[in-house]
Structure formats: C-alpha cells, structure tokens
Amino acid sequence: MRRTALLVSAALLTGLLPWATARAADDPAPVPVDRFEGEVPFAAQPAEGIFTWGGDTDDPPALELAARADAPEGAKVLGGSYDISGYGGFTHDFAATEPGHDWSAHRGIRFWWDGQDNGRKVAFEIKDGGAHGEASELWTTSFTDDFTGWKQIELPFADFTYRTDYQPVGGIDHVLGLDRMWGYAVTLPTGVKGRFAMDDVELYGKADQTLRASVSTGAAVYPVEEGGTAKVGVTVTTTGARPLDEPVTVTYTTAGGTAGPGSDYTPVSGALTFPAGTASGTSRTVRVPTLRDKAAEPAETVPLKLTVTGAKAPAETPQVVIDAHGLPYLNAGTPVKKRVADLLGRMSLAEKAGQMTQAERGALTDQGDIAGYALGSLLSGGGSTPTPNTPDAWAKMIDGFQLRAQATRFQIPLIYGVDAVHGHNNLVGATIMPHNVGLGATRDPRLAERTGAVTAAEVRATGIPWDFAPCLCVSRDERWGRSYESFGEDPALVESMETVVQGLQGRADGRDLNRGDKVLATAKHFVGDGGTEYGSSTTGTYTIDQGVTKVTRQQLEAVHLAPFASAVDRGVGTVMPSYSSLDVIGDGQGPVKMHARADMINGVLKGRMGFDGFVISDWNAIDQLPGDYAAHVRTSVNAGLDMMMVPYTYKDFTSTLVDEVRAGRISERRIDDAVSRILTQKFRLGLFEHPYADTRGAAAIGSPAHRAVAREAAAESQVLLKNSGGLLPLRKGRKVYVAGSNADDIGNQTGGWTVTWQGGSGKTTTGTTILDGMREAGGDVTYSKDASAPTGGYDAGVVVVGETPYAEGVGDVGNGHRLTLSAADQAAVDKVCAAMKCVVLIVSGRPQLIGDRLGRIDALVASWLPGTEGAGVADVLYGRRPFTGQLPVTWPRSEAQLPINVGDASYDPQYPYGWGLTTLTPVPRGGAATLRALALAATVAERTGADRAGRELVTRARLIVQHQAGDRMTAAVAKPFADADHLLLTGHYGKAVQKLTEAYRAA
C-alpha cells in the first residue's frame, strides 16, 4: 500500500477517534518504524526482524500479521496471544549489519494498541547505542491497558528510564543518545491469558532540546585542601555534537552541606549562559573559595546547586569537599595500629556498618550511595566490567568510585575487589595463567610465585588493590565444578604452592602491600569446600558444590585446615569462608554452614591460627543461613565475619546490622574488631595516601614479559601420561594432522572465570591457541577441527579434545556435565588414531575418562586449562622444553571410583597421583640395587636438611619406576607410587624412595 493511502487512513481515524493526536504545525512528518504489512519479517539478528522471547518454552507469545478491517493503518496489524508465567514479549531489531537509526529529531515514539481493558501494565523498551540490538542499552517506560478498542499510545522519549535490573552489556554510557537506535521491545503482562493487537509504530513530534542537550559537571565530588579553591567545570553537550538550537542557562548557588558559609568557604552564586549556536562540549567554570582555620577537622561538604533551563540538568548536585586535615589517623608516619585506633574512635555506628559492607559495582542504585551509606568496599563479580573493557576504563571507573568516598566525613577509601583467579581474568587482553590445577602439576613453587606477581601487577595497575585468590581448597572429588581452582588433592601439594600468596602480596609482614604491583590476597574457601559429598548440595541443580563436607576431626585438621594455617603464616590479608557446610563427625552439631561456624572462624582461624586480617563473606552467602534476614546478619557477624559481600542488598545489610547492634544482639566490641581489621589492611595498602589508580604499570598488562611467565607455566603444567615409542617430542619436519574441538579455541583453553564468570568458547580474549603455537613452532601442520579432512600422508596426528568452560556448581558432574569426551571429540580421536600415530591432548579442568581408547592412543597429555599462552603447550610438543609436569590429582579409570585420592586404602587408578613422564632427559639406569642406594642417600639428605638434593634423588627414583611400569599400571604399583609423591612433598625423602622401590617390585 502506498504511503498516501496510509496517510488517508490515519486522517480518517483522527476524525473518528477523539483521543487521536493531531500533528502540531511545526512538527516534522511522522517517520514509520513498523507498518506490519509484511515489510519486516519474523527473523532474528543479524537480519532485521521481529522475534519473540520468554522465560521458558511456554512464555514467548504467538505472533501473526493479521488482516483486520478496522486496522488503524493499512490492511494488517501485528496480533497475537500469550499466557506468560515468567516473562515474555517480542522485539523488533534493526539489521546489525547496517548503521543504527537516528531518532534524535523526534519527541517520542507512538503506536496504536487494541485495548482489552485488563488494567495491566505493558512495558515498552527502546534500544540505544552499542553494537546492535542485542548489545545495546535498554531504556524503558510503560502504559496501562485500561481501555477498549484502538487507542494511539504516545511515549515521549523523556519518559524513558535506564533499566537498572537488566542490561545485556552492563551499560554503555547511561545516556539516551537517540542517534544510534536499534529498535524496540514489548513486554506483555504475566499471570493472565490474553490477546493483543498493535499497529503503525512511528516516531512523532519535534525533539525537545532537553533530550538532545545536557549539562554536566566534570565530577560529582570536588575535593580541595582547606584554603584552596575548587573549580567546578560546567559543560553543555548535545547528541551528535551539534550546536545548541536554543540558549541554555545554568544558575548556581552554594547552599546546605556540612561546611559553614563565611567560616569554611566563601559563598558564591550567579548564572552561566550558553547562547544558541554554542558548540557542543563548551565549558564554563564556577570557582568556590575555601577558608583556612587552625582547627583539625573531618571533611566538610559544600553543595553547588544548579538550576538548568533549556537542557537536561545534571543527575545530581556536585559537592565541593574540604578535605579532612590535622587528625592523627591522617599522618602516614604514625604506626598503623595507632592510626586505626584514632579513626575508629571517631566513627559512628552507621559509618562502621558501612565499612563492613561490600556491594557489587553494577548494583549501586546511585553512585552517591557510596558516601550515603559510607560503603567500605565494592567488587566486580565475574563479568562485571566497564565498557569498554580496557585497563584505562577500569582505572577510570574505580577512580570515580574512590572519588565518591572522598565525600564522607573521614574520607575512608574503598577497597575494591575482583576474582583474579588465574591472572586479571575479567580484563580482555590480560595475561591469563593456567588454572590452579595446572600450576599444581608444575610442582614449581617459585613459578607459582611469579604467576602471582604478574597477576598482582596487572590487577593493581587498573586501580584494584584486592584479589579474591588463591583458592586453597583440597579437591577430593573431581566431579566438583570448582576442582580446577584447586592446586590438587594433597594438602601438602596445596601448601607447597602457596608461594602464590607472596607473589600477590609480597613479604609476609605486609610491608609491600602499598607498592603499585602488589594486592591483598584472599585464602578461600575456609574450610573444606573441596571435600563436599556428591549429592549433598541443595543449591539449585548443583550436585556437589556448596554441599556438605563430612569428616573426622583428624581429617579436617590434616586435609582441609592445614593449607589455611600455612597461609596465615604467610601473612595472607583476607580469608573467605565457603558456601559449603561442615559436619565434623562426633561433635554433635551436624552439618552447619561455614558462614555460621563461630568455632571455626573465631575459634580456629582467628584464635588458634592467629589470623589478623579480615574475613569476607562469599557472594550473598549469608542468605543461605537459617532464619530471617536479621538472623543471617547476626549469626554471620557473631561467627567472625568482618565484611559482608552483599552485592544487591547493601542497604538492607547496613540498616539491619545497626539495628542488631542497638538491640544488643551484636556487641559493639565485635563491630570494632571487624572494622579495625578492615582499616588495618586499608592503611597497609596505602589507600589513605593514594586512593586512586597508579597506572604506571598498565603498559605491562599482557606484555611479552608477562606472557613469557604464563607460557612457561603452561609448558610446565603439561603432564605426559603415555608416550609409546617415544612419539613425543615431535620433530619439526614431520607432517602433523591436527584435529579436535580445543585445538584452536582460546575460550575453551582458558576455561571458566575468563572475562565472564562461566567463561565461554571462542575468541573471548587475546592469546595464542595451541594450534597457533604449533604453527609458530615451525610445525608442518594441517588442521581439521572435526577430522573431516583426508587423513592420508601424515607422520603423526595431534587431537586436542576436552571440556568447554564452566565455573562453580554449574560445572558439577550431573549438572549437564560429564567426565567423558563429547561424541564429536570421541569421533575425532577414533578417526585420527586409526589412521596414524597419534597424540591426544586433553584440555580440561579435571581428568577425563579415556581408558576405553587408551590402547589406540600412542601419546596422552593432560593439558589442563593452560591459559592464553598455547605456545607453551607447543614448546613441550616440539621439544623446546621437556615434559616435567606431574599429576596433581588422581586420574581415575571410571566414575564409579570417585572419589579416589592418594592415601586411600583401595587405590587402583588409570594413572596415580604424581605420575608424569618426561622428555629430553634420559631415564636413569638401574634397578632395585640402584633404588636402595638412592634411598640411603635420600635419607641422609633428609637428615642434613639438603632439600634440593633430596628432591633430586626422589625424582631419579620416580623416573626409574615409571620406566619399569610402562603402560602396565596396577593397584600394587599405583598406591606406593602415589604415596611416595606425598612423602616427597612433606620432606620424607628416604621413605619416598622406599615407597617407589615397593612400586618397582610390583611393576
């Protein structure tokens, strides 16, 4: 139908319907968005189209383009039916392959709606900025269906607000620009069956300059030393950077606040005028002089109230803050203990409660809440990143938060935390290390310390002083979705790798924490999270994560508590309790959530171990405690938690905590202890003197030097389980056929906790895949992911298989995950290994069951999750470095064996704990007599404290035994072999060789 006919139809309706809106004389002509005559198909991105969505399979509505005689425009309308229990609706996205649309010349968007008079609200969203319709900001408003028949709904753009509950990309600029629009979405009512019809979506009216022009200040807070002059920049900007159409006036006056006019500052008032034609980005300056006196004082505020005509006013009133001065806690030369005592004595209960509160940065209702609630900490959960996700954007974001904290009385800086569990893994382009299970395979504490140092340097360079790492769990069941976060199944191995704490923090006394390349570390998860029983979890669909650890007191001490005792000795700054429950056999308590176990947190950790840092809860973990919310707060604080990670409920937590103290159910002494611990670490970190990001180290993020450390770690983490005929290392001249799902996938290679919480397949960050590394090594490589390319004429095949990313309980076996290879990976292994000599690399967070194919595989490598530097894997494949890795966990024959661990009475694995063949190093010659001699020498080394010599002697014996055992692994060989590695780690070198001799005789 031609547009002239459409206009006739609209004109007719205008005459018939009293509520139809007439066009103003100076308004531009309406611009159609949807006529629903079939010009826009039912389709999804990247094409332009209309599509439905919903919370489950029943929630998306049914849509059709239906012919109706009473259609307000044309012949057809968009109609449909719905019955939504969760949420559902439909979207019109513009084509992602073409530029976004410019709606900035119009007042709003309107459409015809066939009212059902059901009294329900219908949400209408528009999509602004970003890359395309599914990666844009969502702005929302609504209308009420309280009428019958057709009605034209007008929604001025001024009525739309930014969605704070959900954003597909976490927000772009929080500004409704209107010049890069990607479509709209309609959310239909829930809980009622219904039908709807809609027609003629169009843009209408003349744009209001207040939508296209806005006034902003350079910051919301302007700290100034007493006696100085604050300079508040006032800037006018327009959408599309066009000059102002109409003048803008900004009147200003200083009024209110805690500072005294005439005594603390000189009052100012006046007006700034930006005439029509003023260029976008033009700034003026308002100066607020402060006055000096001789008194020591906390910070005082001077609000600068702005009234704007002709443009959108700033979202909040800027505040000049006269810095706190002359108070003892501000003196950097005073001992930390005295600084803490002085500051604590000045604080109110509400301010103390704020220090004990940690909020998710994306969940702040308003950034002013940082000062309003005196918040002590913010965090970025997994995937909670600034846009763009760059080092500079991180630093600017966090500096902005720190600036807000300067508006509090005592200007206590925030401590910002992230889960940098294998490098600065939230940041695209950062150096990503192997996950802890791979580091455990290196058996190289010095290398672990270096990886921690690289992580600390990259994290601190973006303004973040606190890392929720390392995980010191002892993983006892590889069905656990967090098992790759553990260094291994043996507490002695975990303890040996805790050098990473020094890499993160520096020296144990905390004197290095104020350096620009060190961060506060977190020992987690206290205690026993690696020992939860399969099937004991009650969290959603999890099968083992957050479940119950049932142990004797001796098992608790020897296995799970030991790593935390050594971490405390290393000076770790914070400790995070586990989501899981602890059931100590014989103590009469039964399973108790760790966040409620005062006997373990107050009694063991703080009391017996002497931990002097602070305890931070896990994400929303107190909500899992029994009772009402007041009970959650009371129980956890009294159990010894000092700071609560309450991402979305920071307001409820602070008010409830204050109420509980005033009611006498939490003592003020307990509050003072918690806040003292928090302030101590803030002083040690130098945050009071330097709250803002020191970005001098940002140039080293992802640098060749940092990636070299990650590459070395990736190489040392590779465990050679089988090498029949000496297939590895590969010779560069060999023609190699490469296949498998994980050969060329940086996302799979880095695993969970990479850029997002769960991680993701594909090119998620910057790095070198294993295939890239093989090519860079000079290999003659042909790649076919699914092994569909012809397999003839090759000297060897390399099949890289394994898992896709996951994190926490989402990755639990039985929760959509298995320990067996996918069908596609199995097919690739079968095809390649049937056609040529083959190497199978398993890229995974835990052992994979591959025994049924082991006979057809010539060489088998446990690659774990090697991080961004796949060249490290290629280094050992092509012999640039030797294979030296050893299993940090037992490799089972079947899932029925799980849990299976070193020290078990019954122990018959596919490969034992500690197993790991080597290359480029000749196997020492000798048999039983040689082993006896090695045992004697190792015993002498042990007695004389010659640890290096003792370890070397045990390694020689291990290589002899591995050569003797070959592929003939039996329980009689495996058990003493695994026991020997535990004895080596505990310094019992002579006994370790004796166990290896036992394994040799059984081989």
DSSP readout, 893-934? S-GGG-S--TT-SS---SB-TT--B-SSSPPPP--HHHHHHH
Q: Give pLDDT, residue 936.
A: 97
Residue ranges, the chain, pLDDT below 70 = 1-25, 170-171
- Taking CB atoms within 8 Å and a gap of at least 24, the contacts of 167-170 are 167/137, 167/138, 168/134, 168/135, 168/136, 168/138, 169/130, 169/135, 169/136, 169/137, 169/387, 170/362, 170/383, 170/384, 170/385, 170/387
Phi and psi, residue 674, nearest 5°? -60, -50
Nearest partner of 545 among 581, 596, 598, judged by Cα: 581
DSSP 122: E
Q: Give pLDDT, residue 785.
A: 98
The C-alpha atoms of residue 495 and residue 236 are separated, in whole angstroms, by 58
Residue with token string 């006979």: 855
Q: Which residues contact 269 (CB under 8 A, 6 or more apart)?
A: 251, 252, 253, 254
Coil, strand or helix at 602: helix
Q: Give pLDDT, residue 24.
A: 59
The C-alpha atoms of residue 89 and residue 143 are separated, in whole angstroms, by 15
Strand order in the sheet with 592-593: 548-551, 581-584, 592-593
Q: Which residues contact 179 (CB under 8 A, 6 or more apart)?
A: 100, 102, 103, 104, 239, 240
Q: Is the dihedral of CA 173, 174, 180, 185 positive or negative?
A: positive
Q: Where are the beta strands (DSSP E) in 405-474?
A: 415-418, 466-467
* Structure token digits, residue 440: 């455990």
Torsion angle of alpha carbons 558, 561, 563, 569, nearest 10°? -120
Beta bridge partners of 938: none
Tell me if 877 sits within 8 A of 729, measured CB to CB.
yes
Q: Give pLDDT, residue 25.
A: 59
Coil, strand or helix at 49: strand
Q: Give pLDDT, residue 172.
A: 76
For the chain, give the percent of residues with pLDDT over 70: 97
DSSP H or E run through 562:
helix 562-569
- The residues annotated as belonging to the active site are 618, 808
Nearest partner of 885 among 931, 842, 928, judged by Cα: 842
The C-alpha atoms of residue 463 and residue 685 are separated, in whole angstroms, by 12
Distance of CA 384 to the CA centre of its chain: 6
Q: Where are the beta strands (DSSP E) in 262-334?
A: 269-274, 282-289, 300-309, 319-322
Q: Give pLDDT, residue 4.
A: 30
Q: How does pLDDT run across 176-192, given as a tens digit for each residue?
A: 889 899 999 999 999 88
Phi and psi, residue 107, nearest 5°? -75, -35
The C-alpha atoms of residue 693 and residue 394 are separated, in whole angstroms, by 9
The C-alpha atoms of residue 457 and residue 849 are separated, in whole angstroms, by 38
Coil, strand or helix at 345: helix
DSSP 899: S
Percent of the chain that is helix, strand, coil (3-state, to 5): 30, 25, 45
Coil, strand or helix at 261: strand
Q: Where are the beta strands (DSSP E) in 130-247?
A: 137-145, 148-156, 161-162, 181-187, 193-204, 213-217, 221-224, 229-238
Q: How does pLDDT run across 953-982, given as a tens digit for each residue?
A: 999 999 999 999 999 999 999 999 999 999
Q: How does pLDDT run across 771-809, given as a tens digit for each residue?
A: 999 999 998 999 999 999 999 999 999 999 999 999 999
Q: How does pLDDT run across 307-350, given as a tens digit for each residue?
A: 999 999 998 999 999 999 999 999 999 999 999 999 999 999 99
Torsion angle of alpha carbons 641, 646, 649, 650, nearest 10°? 70
Coil, strand or helix at 810: helix
* Structure token digits, residue 129: 């900025």
Nearest partner of 36 among 182, 200, 204, judged by Cα: 200
Strands 181-187 and 120-128: antiparallel
Give the chain's radius of gyration (CA, Å): 32
* Structure token digits, residue 165: 């509950």
Measure Cα distances from 520 to 368, 455, 467, 699 in Å. Answer: 26, 12, 6, 21
Beta bridge partners of 308: 250
* Structure token digits, residue 503: 């890499």
Torsion angle of alpha carbons 872, 873, 877, 882, nearest 10°? 60
Coil, strand or helix at 753: coil
At position 529, the amino acid (one-letter code) is D
* Structure token digits, residue 884: 């030296």
